[in-house]
Amino acid sequence: MTLAATSLLSTTLHAVRPVDEQVRIAAQQRQAQLTKPEGSLGLLEAIGNQLAAIHGAVPAPVPSHGVLGVFAADHGVYDQGITPWPQEVTVQMLVNICYGGASVNALAPETGTQVWPIDVGVAAPVPDAPGLRRMRVRSGSDDFTRGPAMSRDEARTGLEAGISVAQEAVAGGADILLTGEVGLGNTTVAAAVIAAMTGSDPAATTGRGAGADEAMLARKVDAVHRAIAVNRPDPADPLGVLSQVGGLDIAGMAGLMIGGAAAGVPVVLDGVISCAAALIAVGLAPEVRGYLFAGHNGREPGIRVALDALGLPALVDLGLRLGEGSGALVALPIVRSGARILKDMATFAEAGVSGKSA
Ligand SMILES: Cc1cc2ncn([C@H]3O[C@H](COP(=O)(O)O)[C@@H](O)[C@H]3O)c2cc1C
Ligand SMILES: O=C(O)c1cccnc1
C-alpha cells in the first residue's frame, strides 16, 4: 500500500492497538464468580468481556454517550437501474435526518445517542439544515461497471473524513460510536465490496435493498459481476477495493471504525453497508476487529457473508432492511446490558450464594 507516511489515515492506522487479551481472560474469570451459572448469559457475557478488553480493565464502564455517524453519498452505478427509488432521495433523506424525521431520529433517544448527518459524497447540492456536516469529497462516484468508482486519493480522503468525525465525537465525550448511511444504490455497492473482499459469488452478497423486484435483483447481481470483471479488485489492497468498487459512504464509515478503534472506543455496526465498510477497515488494520460489535443480521444476504468472514456474531435479528443506523441503534442497549452484567452483578462470595455442588 502506498500511503504518504504522514497522512491522517496512516498515522491513525498505526495508532490502533490490539484489544487486551489478558484483560479479556480476567473478565472471563470474573464472569465465573458472578451469581449465575457460568455462561448462562451467553453473548451478554462475551460483550462484557469484549468491552473490558477494549477498555483495558475489568469491568469496563457502561457506554453511555453514543454518536451515530450517518454518512451520505451517491453512486454512479445508480445509472444501471439497480434501485427502484429516485436518486434525489439521498438528499431528501439526509435533510429529513437533519430535521429529526427519519427512523434513526426516532430510535436514538432510547439510548440518548446523538445523530450526526454527514455529506461525504452526495451528488446534488444539499440545502442548509440543522446539524449537517459538510465533508464532501466529490459529488457522487463514477459508475464502477465502467471503471473505478473514484481515485485512491479520493477513497483515502473519504476514510479521513470518517476518522475526523470519530476524533471530534470522542473529543466531545463519545464513548461508543455507531455507523450509518444513506445513499440510493448503496446495497449494490456494498455487495460489490463484500464480494471483492471475501471472494464470494455476487449472487450470495446481493439482496433486494430498498425493494428491488426479481428483474432488478438480476441487474444488481450482473452489475456486481461486471464491476469485478472490469476493475479486478485485489482483497489484499483494501484501499484499492474501496476506490474501485466502493463508495464514499463506505469510506466514511470505515474511517469512523478506524478512528474509533485508534481512540480505544467500541463501534457498533449497522447493516450490509456497514459490514462492507468493516471489511475495508479490518483489511487496512486487522486490530480494528476487536473494537467492533455487529449490531444486527438483517435481510441483506451480504451481512451474513461479511460477518462470517469477520468472525463477528450479530447481536439481534429483527428482519430489518433499512440501514441509516437503525440496526446499530437497536443493538446498543444490548451492548450496554453486557457491560452492566460484568459491572453490577454480585459475586457468589459477596451475596452468600452457594456455588455448584456437582
Ligand atoms: C425512503 C428511504 C429511506 C431510506 N433510509 C435508508 N435507506 C436505505 O436504502 C438505500 C439503499 O437501498 P438501494 O440499494 O435499494 O437503493 C440507502 O439509502 C439506504 O440507506 C432508505 C431508502 C429509502 C427509499
Ligand atoms: O442492511 C441494510 O443496511 C440495508 C438494507 C436495505 C436497504 N438499505 C440498507
How many whole angstroms from 182 Cα to the centroid of ligand 2?
A: 9
pLDDT-based confidence at residue 132 (cuts at 50, 70, 90): very high
* Counts for the chain of helices (H) and strands (E), in that order: 15, 7
59 cis-preceded (ω within 30 degrees of 0): yes
How many whole angstroms from 210 Cα to the centroid of ligand 2?
A: 7
Say how far apart CA 180 and CA 323 lie, in whole Å.
Answer: 7
Average pLDDT over residues 276-292: 99
Same domain (yes/no): 262, 178: yes
Ligand nearest to the CA of 182: 1
User: In this structure, is residue 2 part of a structural domain?
Assistant: no
Q: What is the mean pLDDT of the chain?
A: 98
Task: Report whether pLDDT(268) > 90.
Answer: yes
User: In this structure, is residue 357 part of a structural domain?
Assistant: no
Same domain (yes/no): 136, 57: no
Pocket-testing residue among 250, 273, 326, ligand 2, by greatest number of atoms within 8 A of Cβ: 273
How many whole angstroms from 59 Cα to the centroid of ligand 1?
A: 38
Counting from 1 in the atom list of ligand 2, the atom nearest the Cα of 299 is 1
Q: At residue 21, what is the residue type? A: E
Same domain (yes/no): 324, 292: yes
Active-site entry in 154, 181, 324, 350: 324
Task: Report whether pLDDT(39) > 60.
Answer: yes
Same domain (yes/no): 54, 76: no
Same domain (yes/no): 87, 223: yes
Task: Report whether pLDDT(3) > 80.
Answer: no
Per-residue pLDDT tens for 195-209?
A: 999 999 999 999 999
217 Cβ inside 6 Å of ligand 1? no
Residue 84: CATH number of its domain? 3.40.50.10210
Residue 23: CATH number of its domain? 1.10.1610.10
Per-residue pLDDT tens for 187-245?
A: 999 999 999 999 999 999 999 999 999 999 999 999 999 999 999 999 999 999 999 99
Backbone φ, ψ for residue 133 (5° rounding): -105, 125
Q: What is the DSSP letter of 131?
A: T
Segment holding 181, helix H or strand E:
strand 176-182
Q: What is the DSSP letter of 101?
A: -
Same domain (yes/no): 70, 158: yes
User: In this structure, is residue 3 part of a structural domain?
Assistant: no
User: In this structure, is residue 26 part of a structural domain?
Assistant: yes
Same domain (yes/no): 187, 290: yes
Same domain (yes/no): 46, 78: no
pLDDT-based confidence at residue 117 (cuts at 50, 70, 90): very high
How many whole angstroms from 299 Cα to the centroid of ligand 2?
A: 8
Same domain (yes/no): 162, 223: yes
Task: Report whether pLDDT(2) > 90.
Answer: no
What is the structure's pLDDT at 6?
Answer: 86
The percent of residues in the chain predicted with pLDDT above 90, rounded, is 98
Any idea how long the chain is?
A: 358
Average pLDDT over residues 98-119: 99
Q: What is the DSSP letter of 34?
A: B
What is the structure's pLDDT at 110?
Answer: 98
The percent of residues in the chain predicted with pLDDT above 70, rounded, is 99
Average pLDDT over residues 129-142: 99
Overall domain count for the chain: 2
Pocket-testing residue among 85, 96, 219, 299, ligand 1, by greatest number of atoms within 8 A of Cβ: 85
Residue (of 248, 229, 224) closest to 136 by Cα position: 248
The ipTM value here is 0.99
Per-residue pLDDT tens for 57-95?
A: 999 999 999 999 999 999 999 999 999 999 999 999 999
User: In this structure, is residue 269 part of a structural domain?
Assistant: yes
Which residue lies with its CA nearest to atom 7 of ligand 1? 322
In this structure, what C-alpha cell is assigned to residue 294? 455487529
Strands 314-316 and 133-134: unpaired
Same domain (yes/no): 147, 50: no
User: In this structure, is residue 144 part of a structural domain?
Assistant: yes
User: In this structure, is residue 145 part of a structural domain?
Assistant: yes
User: In this structure, is residue 358 part of a structural domain?
Assistant: no
326 Cβ inside 6 Å of ligand 1? no
Is residue 287 annotated as part of the catalytic site, yes or no? no
By residue range, what is the domain housing residue 22? 8-61+342-351
Average pLDDT over residues 31-38: 97
Same domain (yes/no): 41, 113: no
Crossing angle between the packed helical segments 238-245 and 248-262, to the nearest 10 degrees:
150
Same domain (yes/no): 228, 328: yes
